[in-house]
Amino acid sequence: DYESLTLVYLRKPRGADAISGGCLGAARKVEKKLRRKSYGGRSYSDNCIPVDWADVGRDRLCAPNGAVTAVPFYYEPDGTPRDAARSTNYLAATGEGLKYFDVDFGLFNQRSAIVISDFHFYVTDRSRYKEWLVDNVLPDQLEAPGRQPPSAGPCRLLWINDDVNEAELGQ
């Protein structure tokens, strides 16, 4: 069973540049936590798209194409920021940025009001996946004890996923 989670970071105030306005930093924090933290005994590696399709158990090796995010273009693996103008120019010149930014982003308009990240999952245990994502990851991100949730900063974070959205609506 395939699932996806789309995270959309919208720059506040509306129309401001999300690329230079702190949304990429927020994305890095949220996505790092999503991939590395264990919630309720389950983790990202229990649900990710596997490198080897024979490996569909817990703690599988995750395929890099299971996460489509601009964060690696702007941050080194250790978290050190890369040259943002250079990364933005590369993404605009190659057209690669269309995956991550709004429809107006391009070589002559290197700004975007949004940053988009997509995560794809191969779910082998639907109830455990839903428990991991809806009951553990989402509340931890929204109610982060002792710190502000991601949407309290310069960006508003929207989660697009059937299970998450149904839980938000109380269905």
- Distance (Å, rounded) from C-alpha 62 to C-alpha 46? 9
pTM of the model: 0.88
Q: Are 104 and 112 in contact (CB under 8 A)?
A: yes
State the residue for tokens 């306005």.
21
Residues of the chain below pLDDT 50:
145
Q: Distance between CA atoms of 65 and 53, rounded to whole angstroms?
A: 14
Which phi-psi region, left, alpha or beta, contains residue 84 (left: φ > 0; alpha: ψ -120 to 50)? alpha
Residues comprising the chain, all counted: 171
Measure CA 29 to chain center: 9
Q: What is the pLDDT of residues 90-118, one digit of tens each?
A: 999 999 999 999 999 999 999 999 999 99
Q: Are 49 and 122 in contact (CB under 8 A)?
A: yes
